[in-house]
Amino acid sequence: MAADEPLDEVDERVWAYIRAYDFEKYAWNTEEAAAELGIAPTRVYQALSQIQKVKRRQIFLHFRDGGIHIQTE
C-alpha cells in the first residue's frame, strides 16, 4: 500500500485498538493484539506500518525497555 491509500478495514480495526489502550505507558504486544482482533501477527505489523504512513501526525512508535510503545493524539 502507498502512503496516500486510505486505511482498509483491518487497518482501521488496529487503529481503533491502539487508541483504546495506553501503549505509551504499557508495551505493545503484537500477539495479544492479533488474538484480540482475530488476525495474524504479520497482518498486525502490516497495519502498524500503514497506520504510521497514513496517520503520521497522529501516531508515534518508539522502542523502550525492549518493547514497542505507541503514542497517539
Helix axes 30-37, 9-20, angle to 10 degrees: 120
Q: Are 23 and 15 in contact, with CB atoms under 8 Å apart?
A: no
What pLDDT, on the 0 to 100 scale, is given for residue 25?
82
Domain ranges of the chain: 9-72
- Could you report the average pLDDT of every consecutive run of 10 residues in the chain (73 residues)? 76 96 86 97 95 92 83 85
Q: Report pLDDT for 67.
A: 80
- pLDDT on residue 4: 61
Global confidence as pTM: 0.85
For the segment(s) 9-72, the CATH number from 1.20.1260.10, 1.10.10.10, 3.40.640.10, 2.60.40.10 is 1.10.10.10
Q: What is the pLDDT of residue 42?
A: 97
Q: Which residues contact 54 (CB under 8 A, 6 or more apart)?
A: 3, 5, 6, 7, 11
pLDDT at 36: 97
